[in-house]
Structure 1
């Protein structure tokens, strides 16, 4: 039987959301028996080509419907775009109706994460907008509880709705210690919930 995995599905333009995804993966792999699977989505535009290659030039491979269908849990990440998720991620999610019709994601735990160039910069509305399609899929949404000390101490990113990062206007801010801790904590929480739910249904 294949090892259960938490899918960390993200879009990253300048690399900061990708860095967060990597920290999420570190948290996931702290949970015995759980694997982290990093996946991304291709760029989109008015002239988007539906026959894009299956593998990008660098970084994580593009997510497939099967990657999403068979995950034990999901972490969804995007930079903020006017208080909403980026178009490439929305485009991918808009194509998941077949999974919605079959209820493939019902009762699987999910969380969200984001980054922005300005402090806050629509982070919380972006996180909440990303939660909406997951709720429509019947997933069990989980944020970050205030028992995580970094949530109370952070001076940059970090929300109870999901991990976040303040990249700075020049995109030069590295992930702070608190931001990294919250990413790992969120990854670990989703993996723990995924494992508990999987074991409860055996």
Structure 2
């Protein structure tokens, strides 16, 4: 199932590259993942965004993401594992490296997603930390598609019944897809 899902995501992203010769607004999904869980959520977010016509979706780890990627994106969706009710040090360093002078990220859409080991282990605090940082950069922040995901998407992967060995539970992947789709829909609306 994981390999099929990755193949589908890759195919969707590849089709997005060739869908049209005109420049499409970019939805950048970028993440840090030590164990693969946040990467799995990133793939779900990218899949949701790729379901929307009129956008190009770029999926990269933060280590691969350049300043040029940030500047070219109409939307930036950042994913982090939860470390002590905060983003990982790698994500903090990444956000701290964003260009600030002359506000080049102003009016870009920003959104967040996280993975955490346990229920009530700091998911919403971590999402809020990322969203607050985006606000400092003048970004327009959005949450998920409904009241069950107001701060973005999150997944629990280390507390029963949500154990890492079973993979990310489908309801969390669905929230990731919903976040990606909502952000992409807003990008299309803002670029009409």
What TM bracket, shorter-length normalisation?
0.7 to 0.9
Please name the residue that 1:87 is paired with.
89
Please name the residue that 2:52 is paired with.
31
CA-atom RMSD in angstroms: 1.5
Q: Distance in 2 between matches of 1:18 and 1:117?
A: 15
Between Structure 1 and Structure 2, how many residues are aligned? Answer: 168
Q: Deviation string for 1:12-35 (max 9, x for gaps)?
A: 010010000001111111111212
| Contact 2:145/2:182, CA 8 A, preserved across alignment | no
Please name the residue that 2:39 is paired with.
18
72, 78, 89: which one aligns with 1:70: 72
Question: Structure 2 length normalisation: TM-score?
Answer: 0.82
Q: 1:100 Cα deviation (Å)?
A: 2.0
Please name the residue that 1:119 is paired with.
119
| Contact 1:6/1:75, CA 8 A, preserved across alignment | yes
Q: Secondary structure at the match of 1:172?
A: helix
Q: What are the ranges of 5 or more consecutive residues in structure 1 without an aligned counterpart?
A: 43-61, 152-158
- Runs of 4+ residues deviating >6 angstroms: none
Q: What are the ranges of 5 or more consecutive residues in structure 2 without an aligned counterpart?
A: 1-21
| Contact 2:145/2:179, CA 8 A, preserved across alignment | no
| Contact 2:145/2:178, CA 8 A, preserved across alignment | no
164, 182, 185: which one aligns with 1:171: 164
Please name the residue that 2:180 is paired with.
187
Q: Distance in 2 between matches of 1:41 and 1:146?
A: 27
| Contact 2:32/2:80, CA 8 A, preserved across alignment | yes
